[in-house]
Amino acid sequence: MTSLKLNRNQFGDPKNQGNIMDVGEANSLLSEWVKNEKLVFHMKQVGHLMKSYAEFKGYDKSTQQMWYIAGLLHDADWDQWPDEHCKKIIEELESRNQDPRIMKAIASHGPIHFGVEPESEMDKMLYAFDELSGLIHAYSLMRPQAYEGMDIKGVKKRLKDKSFAAQVSREDIADASQRAGISLEELIQFVIDNQLRS
């Protein structure tokens, strides 16, 4: 990941709180911007985990929707504008008058890279699911049974093996789990149980 510091901490307009695009609009933005199918699937997986977690916490439907959209769009600019990741998608969502919390979560999905601290629970969970979901997805692809019988121990073994899914940042995973205040084991189990499959 290239490191583009966003150099700001204010996103969107507070008066747009509650403006959350529907899945149709988000998907049409994705099909316009992202040609890489694997990247689309990654964002769908993260979006699904975000929604599942909001549901697990008992949050209402519009909160679940907000968490889903943040996950679904967090890497939307990566395919065409990797040097402007995640500046481009944030500006696009600002121009569409989206709820500021969506842009803030996207801005903080890589604090080392973008220089924005995850603060809300939604910020922290997006950061926590991003890399971990990628590693677990890669692990599922090499297992004949995919997710069936997958356990925490197996995932931790792949985490320790730095040559496995080498692009996945182990540092980010450890940092994100600490910031979320959720043990790595608990996070791994949540992803195994809730990850969107193929």
Applying CB under 5 A, which residues contact Fe ion?
Answer: 75, 130
Residue pair 66/99 in contact by the 8 Å Cβ criterion: yes
Q: Please, what is the minimum distance in Å from the beta carbon of residue 40 to Fe ion?
A: 11
Radius of gyration of the chain (CA): 16
Q: Cβ closer to Fe ion: 44 or 158?
A: 44
Q: Please, what is the minimum distance in Å from the beta carbon of residue 156 to Fe ion?
A: 21
Q: Please, what is the minimum distance in Å from the beta carbon of residue 133 to Fe ion?
A: 8
C-alpha 129/C-alpha 135 separation (Å) is 10
Q: Please, what is the minimum distance in Å from the beta carbon of residue 75 to Fe ion?
A: 4
CA dihedral sign of residues 195, 24, 85, 51: negative
Residue pair 52/71 in contact by the 8 Å Cβ criterion: no
Residue pair 125/177 in contact by the 8 Å Cβ criterion: no
φ/ψ region of 116 (left if φ > 0, alpha if ψ in -120 to 50, else beta) reads: beta
Q: Cβ closer to Fe ion: 123 or 130?
A: 130
Residue pair 50/68 in contact by the 8 Å Cβ criterion: yes
Q: Cβ closer to Fe ion: 75 or 175?
A: 75
Q: Please, what is the minimum distance in Å from the beta carbon of residue 85 to Fe ion?
A: 6
Q: Cβ closer to Fe ion: 19 or 170?
A: 170
Q: Cβ closer to Fe ion: 4 or 149?
A: 4
> What stretches of 5-162 adopt beta strand conformation (E)?
none
